[in-house]
Amino acid sequence: MATSLQEHNTISSPLKSIFSDFFELTKARLALSVVFSSLAGFLIAADEINFDVIFLLVIGGYCMVGSSNIFNQIIEKDSDAVMNRTKNRPIPSGRVSISVAFLVAVFLTMIGVVVLYRINATTALFGSISIFIYACIYTPLKQKTPLSVFVGAIPGAIPFMLGWIAATNEFGIEAITLFSIQFFWQFPHFWALGWMLQEDYEKAGINLLPTKKKDKSSALQTVLYTIWMIMICLLPVSGFTGGLHLSVFSAILIGIIGIVMLYFSIQLYSQMSTNSAKKLFNASVICLTLVQTIFVLDKYVLWI
């Protein structure tokens, strides 16, 4: 009996390690948050809930984001090895070889494109564009210029829009608005992260802050981009965004959420501290989730 239990543990331990490394390579928490954005975009656009499409969007979306993250870690293996927050990742730690990681990334890319193509060709196209920009342009630029944040914001903003396209197979003002919300949200989000971890990033020659410094100018730009994000979030209440609607009540709720995030941006500007950057970073994550949730609830609760 003891031998059988020992054999079971011997088998389960490697399997647990394999799954753990896979989820770490694909950055599971980040990937799931991206999938959530896609689902929110789909639900906002859909005239009826098609669970087959939802399933395809979840699987295809996770594969595409996961493959992007693996390509990113392959390219950044050397910089990851010198940073405290990344040195224990599967590739720099030596638990997963570059060749194995590359094969997994290619496999996930192929699955992702095929699955998203089953929804429609436009969804697969934008998913492919997202991978290309993230892995081939954004990642190499990170060690060259802070403008990489602007480039990285493009694939980072596609998921919210992708859900709309999956539901409608149309790229119009509605999809552009959803894209813009997540595009402008990323600047305070990633600049707060860059502020928090600047010393660690500097070890790898990476600087995400717009001026490369923890100064008033970087903090002020964080405030300004937060204001832009709030304005775009509220644009659908005007009626100028086609089929993308927002009730006055939901606009007020989103406005309040935006003001909270703006408060933490202003706190960073006034305090210039790592702690205030951390609060802004956490607030930004909560803010985007709540905004997307309210957009969905607005359609299914307030517009029926």
Q: What would the pLDDT profile of 29-49 be if each residue is shown by its tens digit?
A: 888 999 999 999 999 999 888
Residue 304 pLDDT greater than 60, yes or no: no
Q: Radius of gyration over alpha carbons of the chain, in Å?
A: 20
Average pLDDT over residues 81-92: 86
Q: Which residue has the higher pLDDT, 125 or 21?
A: 125
Return the closest-CA partner of residue 60 out of 192, 159, 208, 150: 159
What was the pLDDT predicted at 1?
A: 47
d(CA 44, CA 243): 10
What is the Cα–Cα distance from 101 to 198, expressed in whole angstroms?
A: 28
User: How large is the average pLDDT for residues 71-89?
Assistant: 87
Q: Are 171 and 162 in contact (CB under 8 A)?
A: no
Residue bearing the bigger pLDDT, 199 or 115: 115
In the chain, count of helices (H) and strands (E)? 13, 0
Q: Could you tell me which of 229, 226, 225, 191 has the C-alpha nearest to residue 208? A: 191
Contact predicate 205/79, CB 8 Å: yes
269 three-state secondary structure: helix
Structure tokens at 163: 């859900």
Rounded percentage of the chain residues whose pLDDT exceeds 70? 94
Overall average pLDDT of the 104-118 stretch: 95
Pairwise CA distance, residues 202 & 197, whole Å? 9
Give the pLDDT confidence score for residue 4 in this predicted structure. 53
**CA-CA distance, 107 to 129, in Å (whole number)?**
17
Q: According to the model, what pLDDT value does residue 302 have?
A: 65
188 closest CA partner among 269, 127, 119: 269
pLDDT in tens, 197-237: 988 888 888 888 998 889 999 999 999 999 999 999 999 99
